[in-house]
Amino acid sequence: MRSTAAILLLPLLFACAGLPRITPAGEAETADIVKEGLAPFLKGPCRLVHSIDGTLPGGSRATMIGVSAAEPDTGRIRCTLMSIEGLVLLDAEYNARLVINRGIGPLASPDMVMGMLRDIRLILFGPAGSPVGAGMLPDGGRVCRYRADDGMTDLVMRQRGTVELVLYDGSSKVVRRVRFSGERRNGMPANIRLSAPGVFGYTLDLDLIEAEPLR
């Protein structure tokens, strides 16, 4: 029986080979870690307004305003991106399928908009999949690890309530890092930094302007 369980767990061990090792926590502490890790994400339907400072490939920078209305229960998202002057560059919604109500320039591309929506989902809804472990990382951070079909996600608790999300692809390569920090307003963190590594990498710094629960 024990050997059968070990064989069944082997794929999981190999899949996690490139990820930081976790020293497992006790049962009681595990529940706390899971709860704490999910603190930055939406608990119910909400409308959010952020200023977004983007550092794009090549180092150019641009600042915009983003408005999102999201329902974590259904996964429905509507998002609007506009210039500081108020010109709407993107109005899109996702509810099982993508609809672009308005897209100007590169933001008319469904592929690009879907990429944006994936980032927004990550920021608002948190990790896909189920928890597969919780405990302590070698650097001392408490962590909860999630496993989904296409990769793993770590939620790491840092100092002063900061939570860091690290998204790994199927080969355990880091594909996104998201850092949630600052005071919470209506449960949402004041500051979010999303980084996509690589040659075409980019960084988005989001500062919360408004957070309002939707009825």
Partner 1 sequence: MRRYSVANVIIRLSILLLCLTLVAWGDSWDQIKRAAGDITSVQAEFTQKKHMEILARPLASRGRLYFQAPRSLRWEYLSPVNSVLLMHGGTVTRYVRKGGSVIKDSSAQLQSMQIVLQEITLWMRGNFDANPSFTPELRPGRIIVLTPKEKSMAGIIQRIELKLSNEPGVIRSVTIYESRKSYTVIDFNRVTMNKTLPESLFRGL
Tokens of 148: 């989904």
207 binds partner 1 (CB under 8 A): yes
Distances (CA, A) of 109 to 50, 78, 92, 98, 143: 22, 16, 11, 11, 36
84 binds partner 1 (CB under 8 A): yes
Give the nearest distance from C-beta 94 to partner 1 in angstroms: 13
51 binds partner 1 (CB under 8 A): yes
Distances (CA, A) of 97 to 63, 78, 79, 117: 28, 12, 14, 11
Give the nearest distance from C-beta 42 to partner 1 in angstroms: 16
- Choose which of 69, 98, 137, 175 interacts with partner 1 (CB under 8 A): 69
- Choose which of 34, 38, 39, 67 interacts with partner 1 (CB under 8 A): 67
Q: How many residues does the chain have?
A: 215
Amino acid type, 200:
F
99 binds partner 1 (CB under 8 A): no
Nearest to partner 1 of 58, 140 (CB atom): 58
87 binds partner 1 (CB under 8 A): yes
- Measured CA to CA, the distance from residue 176 to residue 189 in angstroms comes to 18
3-state secondary structure of 2: helix
Give the nearest distance from C-beta 179 to partner 1 in angstroms: 15
Neighbours of 101 (CB within 10 A): 11
By CB under 8 A, name the binding residues for partner 1. 47, 49, 51, 53, 59-63, 65, 67, 69, 78, 80, 82-89, 91, 102, 104-105, 107, 205, 207, 209-210, 212
